């Protein structure tokens, strides 16, 4: 969940235009998390005798887990790119300050 927390922090700090891709990826990952919670709850709520339904829900959960893993990898990639960009800006500002020039960012 560290990726999700990082993405939430970055979304809160970015302007609307800069974070739209990150917000969309975060929303997708969170939606998949919520769907998985509902699916697991439904599966646990079934009676033991309803084995066909349980098997179907287990298969659906497996597929959803794969989708969620892909969504979090995509979110991690986008968040890492934003962090790299912020670190570059930070480095530029430190260099300008060290040179005694006015930082304009």
The domain locations on the chain are 2-98
For the segment 47-54, the average pLDDT, to the nearest whole number, is 71
- What tens digit of pLDDT does each residue of 59-85 get? 888 888 888 888 888 888 888 887 777
Percentage above 70 pLDDT, the chain: 77
In b/e form, how buried is each residue of 10-49, taking b as 16+ CB within 10 angstroms?
bbeeeeeeebeebbebbebbbebbeebeebeeeeeeeeee
Residue 94 CB neighbours (<10 A):
11
Using CA atoms, how far apart are residues 96 and 92, in angstroms rounded to an integer? 6
The model's pTM is 0.57
Is residue 23 within 8 Å of residue 82, measured between CB atoms? no
């Amino acid at each position: 969940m560290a990726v999700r927390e990082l993405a939430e922090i970055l979304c809160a700090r970015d302007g609307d235009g800069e974070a739209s891709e990150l917000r969309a990826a975060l929303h997708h990952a969170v939606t998949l998390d919520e769907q998985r919670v509902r699916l697991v709850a439904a599966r646990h709520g079934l009676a033991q005798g309803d084995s066909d339904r349980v098997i179907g829900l287990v298969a659906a959960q497996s597929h959803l887990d794969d989708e969620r893993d892909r969504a979090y990898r995509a979110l991690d990639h986008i968040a890492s790119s934003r962090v790299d960009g912020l670190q570059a800006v930070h480095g530029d500002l430190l260099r300008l300050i060290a040179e005694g020039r006015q930082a304009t960012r």
